[in-house]
Amino acid sequence: MSAAPPAGQSGHGGAGPVRVVIVDDSAVQRRFARSALEADGKMTVVGEARNGRDAVAMVDKLRPEAVLMDLHLPVMNGIEAIERIMAMRPTPILVYSAFVDGEDRDNAAAALAAGAVDVMAKPGPSDAGHLEEYAEALRRRLRVAGRARVITHPRGRLGGANVALSTRRLGGGQAPTVAAVPPQSCPADGLPPRKVRLIGIGASTGGPQALATVLAELPGDLEAAVVVVQHMADGFIEGLAHWLDGLCPLPVSVAVSGRRLMPGTVSVAPSGTNLIVHDTLRVTMQEPSSTQYHVPGIDETLSSIAAAVGPYAVGALLTGMGRDGAVGLKRMRERGALTIAQDEATSAVYGMPAAAVAIGAAELQLPIGEIGPALRHVARVAKEPTS
């Protein structure tokens, strides 16, 4: 374990550089990550750890603004290290690992459940000609992670260091808590129940934990369909859907082009394309434009829901960096749908919800713990209104 002396704390949104600890047992990967980050004057690497146990100690000592962590580590694996850090010294963690098969993708979902705010695949042999693009993507992800709010995570387990990654699955049906919210009456209680054919939910940074909290509150007999758009790197959506399926009373799967969204199911938009909803609740996949930054795009899906379902929809925009989803949510509201934005206090990154509030897209702004109950409340009516 090697470390630079701690610098002055910059905090979230501080003027100083984002202070980062790199955790990887590969010296080659540590050198690449350090070089990539320090090419940006807004970041500084304050420490490097070669195993999970050293990483926990280093984060506790140096108190960085962000951690870049591999999952496959000696002594203590990355998932247990994340759990310990989030239990003892909550810090935004970007998982940076080689995801080559289904088991690894499940481990990435497990890392998000343990408290990591984002996941990113390491460059492979075929990426050798694009390392500078990859380095810029790494810097961008860490800049966002360094601004994320994190809390002491309830999944922190402080015993036993030799945990097999492939068994760290998220069974038990217990959704992680994103933030503690004081009990209070839900504003949705005053809204009349309505016929809801489709619930559309968008999320980005911090989204997997927020999604787990919301979806765990939906009843098993829900008669609306649910579609989720989560910003996530290629290859991880399947693991996310599999994980959510173990936490949610409703079945969760990745949406398939040409199929209908069925009542009482949750469909997650696949990576690399935009999911478009049609009036029969059939979905198709649309090639993103060359200028589209986030893929899958939340705006594209929510806008299609507005056109296809109109007032028989509910839209929710959860935590995330940027503005994606705000325009789509506004279109839903203009067509008569109920629209909800996550509040600032419980958002890991209050970017997308803030953008929605700023343009009048959100009818309600709720803590994450109240969004699921609100959806359950307003979607109670099963029958189409009759004249």
Q: In what order do the strands lie in the sheet with 43-49?
A: 2-3, 43-49, 18-23, 66-69, 93-97, 118-121
Cα–Cα dist 155/160, whole Å:
14
Q: Is 231 a catalytic residue?
A: yes
Contact predicate 319/210, CB 8 Å: yes
Provide the strand spans (E) within 118-161: 118-121
Residue 36's CB: how many other CB atoms inside 10 A?
A: 21
Written as one letter, the residue type at 285 is M
Exactly one of 70, 118, 153, 231 is catalytic; name it.
231
3-state secondary structure of 138: helix
Contact predicate 270/255, CB 8 Å: yes
Please name which of 103, 115, 95, 113 lies closest in space to residue 33, comparing C-alpha atoms.
95
Q: In what order do the strands lie in the sheet with 364-366?
A: 252-254, 266-268, 225-230, 198-203, 313-317, 338-342, 364-366
Q: Is 204 a catalytic residue?
A: yes
Cα–Cα dist 271/255, whole Å:
10
Exactly one of 104, 106, 118, 324 is catalytic; name it.
324
**DSSP assignment, residue 180?**
-
Positive/negative CA dihedral, 133, 134, 140, 143: negative
Exactly one of 204, 271, 303, 304 is catalytic; name it.
204
Residues paired with residue 219 on neighbouring β-strands, in sequence order:
none
3-state secondary structure of 168: coil
Q: What are 358's two structure tokens?
A: 């700023």
Residue given tokens 């090697």 in the structure block: 2
**DSSP assignment, residue 134?**
H
Q: Is 324 a catalytic residue?
A: yes
Active site residues: 204, 231, 324
